[in-house]
Chains A and B, each alone.
Chain A
């Protein structure tokens, strides 16, 4: 069966510090991978998605970046965090099933920038 891992689970970082969040998927090949951010009590904002190794599409301009160095690894990074980067970061994967993609979310990382 497929599983998705994210770490760390929680993170407190000072403004201006770098960030690296990691997401890995097991049990599937060539998944589509997604990074979302959820502000407290709000909906899901798609940040990046990837359909293959080295292929990254950005949905919103910001100080975050994403990379996919391996088929089942997706990394979210920042060189300098802003206060507004605080939130719940969710990684998700999907596999096209008869033109009907269902997304499966990881446990998320809660980031607080102070």
Chain B
């Protein structure tokens, strides 16, 4: 079945630095979605990418969908303490609309 993998599992970042987390699917995706879960909270939808090579920005967050629609990345610039949490990517299966979630990248920030 479809697998969605994320790396790294953990990201320790100095406040003010940039970092990138990556998401890879074993199959081509019709779209990819990103969610953020703050410590103690529930996942919250951030964004959806649909087109090959699409790039979307939300303030300091830049999301990219690969040309082959099998991978995606999330780049955060000038990391702040508010960026702490776990970022999940998710993609629909090939034959239905259930989402397969990656294991997530847990981000901690050193002040």
Q: Is there an interface contact between A105 and B43, defined as CB atoms closer than 8 Å?
A: yes
Q: How many B residues face the partner with a CB closer than 8 A?
A: 22
Within 8 Å by CB of A90, from B31, B43, B106, lies B43
Q: Is there an interface contact between B103 and A103, defined as CB atoms closer than 8 Å?
A: no
Within 8 Å by CB of A43, from B31, B33, B102, lies B102
Known: A41-B106, A96-B97. A102 touches B42 (CB 8 A): no
Interface flag for A106 (CB, 8 Å): yes
Determine the chain A residues whose CB is within 8 A of the CB of B35 once the complex forms.
105
What residue of chain A has the Cβ atom nearest to residue B104's Cβ? A43
Q: How many A residues face the partner with a CB closer than 8 A?
A: 21
Chain A to chain B contacts (Cβ below 8 Å), 27 pairs: A32-B97, A34-B98, A41-B106, A42-B103, A43-B103, A43-B104, A44-B43, A44-B101, A46-B98, A90-B42, A94-B97, A100-B30, A100-B31, A100-B92, A101-B92, A101-B97, A101-B99, A102-B33, A102-B45, A102-B48, A103-B33, A103-B45, A103-B90, A103-B99, A104-B45, A106-B42, A107-B42
10 further interface pairs, Cβ-Cβ under 8 Å (given A43-B104, A44-B88): A43-B102, A44-B43, A44-B101, A90-B43, A96-B97, A99-B30, A100-B92, A102-B33, A105-B44, A108-B42
* A binding-site residues for B, Cβ under 8 Å: 32, 34, 41-44, 46, 49, 90, 94, 96, 99-108
